[in-house]
Amino acid sequence: MTLTISRLALAALALSASILSVEPALAAVACGSGNFDAWLADFKAEAAAKGISQQAITAGLAGVTLDQSVLNRDKSQKVFTQTFEEFSGRMVPPRMTRGSNMMKQYGSVLSRIEQAYGVPGEILVAIWGLETDFGVNTGKFSTIRSLATLAYDCRRAEQFRGELMDALRIVQRGDLTPAEMKGAWAGELGQTQFMPSSWLKYAVDFDGNGKRDLLHNAPDVLASTANYLAGYGWQKGKDWQPGSPNFAVLQQWNKSEVYCKTVAYFATQLAHAP
C-alpha cells in the first residue's frame, strides 16, 4: 500500500475495523511452538472440520511456509505519531489531481453507488487514494502466507486464524485463486485493503460480471467500500466531519482519528474541486 506503514500501525497497533469477530481457535498445536508444519497440519484439519473443501485447503495451503519478514514487520511497528497537519499535508496534495480525475472518470458509477448505498463518491475516492494510490500499490505479499504466519505467531493468533479461514473461503467461493491473493503484509487485500473477513461480508459484484473483484475492478472496489460503510451505519446526505455520526462510521474503517480526519478533509477538497 502507499502508506509508509501498514493500516495496522496507523490505528495504533490495532487492526483496522475491517477485522470482524473471529471464531475461537481450536488449535491442538500451540502457536509459536517452533513447529510450523505441525501447526499447519492441525489448521488444515480444523478447516476441513469447518466445511472448507479439500480442494480449497490444498490449493491455498500447499507448500506454505513461515514468512519471517512478516513477523519482523509486525514486531517493529511503532505507534503512529504524526499530527493531522503532517499526515494530511503529506498524503492529500499529491493525490488531489488524480482524485479529481477519478471523480470524473467514474462519475456515473459513483452516482449509482451513492443511490444504492448512500455513501458519496468523494468519500470513496478519498479512501481509495489514501489506501493504494487508486489501486496502483495494493501490495505484493502472499496473503495466505502472511495470514498463516500471523496466525501461527502468538501475538494475535485467534484473530488471524479466523482471517486465514476466511481467505480459504474466498478461494472456495471462486472470487480469487491463491496466486491472485497478494496484498499488504498483514493480509489486507484489494484496492481499498479489505481483510478477508470483510471481503466475505461486504464485497459486491457491482458491474454484474459474475465475480467480486476488489483487485482489478474499480466499480466492485468502490461499491464494496460503500457497502462496508453502509453496513456500519453511514447516513445518506449527512456530514462527514469530526463529531458527526458519519465520522464515527469512518472510525469503523480505521480507528486512527488522524487517518479519518484526513479522509474527511480529502473528501471535502474533492467535493469543492472544479
How do beta strands 182-183 and 141-142 pair?
antiparallel
Secondary structure (3-state) at 257: helix
Instruction: Look up residue 250 and give its three cell numbers.
Output: 469512518
DSSP track, 73-88: HHHT-------HHHHH
Query: Which of 131, 163, 180, 257 is an active site residue?
Result: 131
- The Cα 249–Cα 197 span in angstroms is 18
Q: In the chain, helix, strand, coil percent, each to 5?
A: 55, 0, 40
Cβ distance 269 to 95 under 8 Å? no
CA distances from 94 to 98, 130, 221 (A): 8, 10, 22
- The Cα 251–Cα 245 span in angstroms is 10
Instruction: From 67, 77, 80, 76, select the one nearest 153 (Cα to Cα).
Output: 67
- Answer yes or no: 131 catalytic: yes
- The Cα 84–Cα 260 span in angstroms is 9
- The Cα 200–Cα 167 span in angstroms is 9
Q: Which residues are catalytic?
A: 131
